Amino acid sequence: MINELCVIRSLVSREGDHHRGVYLAKTGYRPDQTLTHPSLGAILAKERWNAGIAIPQHVSRGSDQRPARGGFLGAQYDAYKIYNPGGRLRNIASRADKTRQQRRLAGLNVVSRTFRRGRTVAARATQHRLMVDRALAMMNADQLKAFQLDLDDESRSTVKLYGDSRFGRGCLVARRLVQAGVRAIEVTLPGWDTHANNFEGHREQAGILDPALFALITDLKQHDLLDSTIVLVLGEFGRTPTSIHSTDETTGLMDTVALSEEEAWQLAVCWEPPIPPAQTQTDTSS
């Protein structure tokens, strides 16, 4: 599989704080109190918006409190967080029956019309109503099945190949989301910040990362998706083998793909459909 990878060791960071390092890794900017920068996934979701799907274009399977954000692009580009990859999504099924839900929506229509009445700027709908409509569309979207790991869709051998871990299941869900048309997915694997027992800790982490990464790339290739997908693996900074019981000996490097000495690995899958071949024009000048 190494022939599919490119190892980049030239990314430099002076950040030694996890929060600041993650922010820099996800946005390309250092934290600024005056604004929040959009993450790479948010930019891809905006610039390569897929109008053919009703589920979020930017998805994160993360366990930390530093999700990928839309920043100044708007909250609609924040990553949709999934906590149990392959399991049921939170707050998707309506708690009200169909009749009661229709009454609620009718009441919302009254409020929305009243709010727009008398506005100096014409607006088809408020931003709040647009978000409500998008949520309703998602609740009834066929693409929701991409979040679920159903053995009717995936063989047991495929599920086993990714590994029995949240990270492994997250990578399998990422492949399914790529198939559904989602533009950017991130899957995080925390636990690399080994202040002690570095080699043992990293060996355990690599045992989770390696099979999942191998399975993801192999699976994408088998589904003819690898040529139109970028798989990026990175961390916010590294730690040297001598930094036992220390908090101040970071390498200041962010290495991508195939390296296993990062503080917190983040796997991002960015997808775009293949560009169709250009049409050959017939030369009629002669």
What digits encode the pLDDT tens for the residues 25-81? 888 888 888 999 999 999 999 999 998 999 999 999 876 656 688 999 988 899 999
Same domain as 82, residue 97? no
pLDDT one-digit tens code per residue, 189-219: 888 877 778 888 888 988 999 999 999 999 9
Are 221 and 229 in contact by the 8 Å Cβ rule? The answer is no
Confidence (pLDDT) at 199: 83
143 contacts: CB under 8 Å, gap ≥ 6: 53, 54, 55, 180, 181
In the chain, % of residues over pLDDT 70: 78
Tokens of 20: 């600041």
Same domain as 251, residue 117? no
Tokens of 80: 């949709």
Same domain as 195, residue 258? yes
Same domain as 248, residue 171? yes
Confidence (pLDDT) at 261: 32
3-state secondary structure 56-76: CCEEEECCCCCCCCCHHHCHH
Confidence (pLDDT) at 3: 79
Residue 283 falls inside a structural domain: no
Confidence (pLDDT) at 198: 80
Are 1 and 218 in contact by the 8 Å Cβ rule? The answer is yes
Are 281 and 193 in contact by the 8 Å Cβ rule? The answer is no
Same domain as 167, residue 100? no
State which H helix or E strand residue 138 sits in: helix 127-139
Residue 231 falls inside a structural domain: yes
Confidence (pLDDT) at 208: 93
Instruction: Report how many domains make up the chain.
Output: 2
End-to-end CA distance of the chain: 50
Residue 280 falls inside a structural domain: no
Same domain as 120, residue 230? no
Same domain as 203, residue 156? yes
Same domain as 264, residue 178? yes
Same domain as 189, residue 79? yes
Of the candidates 100, 283, 94, 83, the one whose C-alpha atom is nearest the C-alpha of residue 173 is: 83
Give the residue numbers spanning the domain of 51: 8-87+148-271
Confidence (pLDDT) at 260: 29
Where residue 111 falls among pLDDT bands split at 50, 70, 90? confident
Last residue of a domain, one of 107, 122, 143: 143
Same domain as 27, residue 42? yes
SS3 at position 270: strand
pTM of the shown model: 0.80
Average pLDDT over residues 92-96: 84
Same domain as 22, residue 72? yes
* CA 257 – CA 2 distance, rounded (Å): 10
